[in-house]
Amino acid sequence: NTIVQYLDLTPNQEYLFERIKELSQGGCMSSFRWNRGGDFKGRKWDTDLPTDSAIIMHVFCTYLDSRLPPHPKYPDGKTFTSQHFVQTPNKPDVTNENVFCVYQSAINPPHYELIYQRHVYNLPKGRNNMFHTLLMFLYIIKTKESGMLGRVNLGLSGVNILWIFGE
């Protein structure tokens, strides 16, 4: 069941499994293609398959879903995804100062924005947009939220994902 959560992004789970395996090989995700994916079984990537950006975002959200405590409001177990990730055509409520989320404002090519305390941070488009958005999300948790995402410490005494920023 733990692995299945990572594969629910697309009905083509075989592609997803193979693509995650490809992305994990070599250094620094060298086969990463932000606005498309990889070829599969002799077929060129097409828009019926998720982009590499969508895959990495899904893996990130699913990992944090597994680290946050269950919430009765989200019986599917997607506590992080339900609270902190919004994908177009849905839109986050930017008038609500409590909204803190990554917003995917475009699917193809993928583009992500960060919403925090009624402010929309629209980071530069392109290959690094998703990475920059995730880094800013984590940086805000470290610097503005004392390392806490809700009741979960993302620092040293918790999930320990904030080590990337050093002291």
Q: Is residue 116 a part of any domain in this protein?
A: yes
- Report the C-alpha gap between 10 and 52 in whole angstroms: 12
Q: Is residue 155 a part of any domain in this protein?
A: yes
Q: Is residue 141 a part of any domain in this protein?
A: yes
| Ordered per-residue pLDDT tens for the chain, 167 residues | 688 899 999 999 999 999 999 999 988 899 999 999 999 999 999 999 999 999 999 999 999 999 999 999 999 999 999 999 999 999 999 999 999 999 999 999 999 999 999 999 999 999 999 999 999 999 999 999 999 999 999 999 889 999 999 87
Longest dimension (CA), the chain: 48
The count of domains in the chain is 1
Pair of tokens at residue 147: 């390392």
- Report the C-alpha gap between 43 and 161 in whole angstroms: 36
Q: Is residue 167 a part of any domain in this protein?
A: no
Q: Is residue 7 a part of any domain in this protein?
A: yes
| Residues spanned by the domain of 77 | 2-162
- Supply the pTM of this predicted model: 0.94
Tell me how far CA of residue 83 lies from CA of 14, 25, 42, 157, 164, in angstroms: 28, 31, 38, 23, 23
Q: Is residue 145 a part of any domain in this protein?
A: yes
Burial class (CB in 10 A: 0-12, 13-18, 19+), 1: exposed
CA angle 31, 36, 38 (to 5 degrees): 50
What's the confidence (pLDDT) of residue 78? Answer: 95
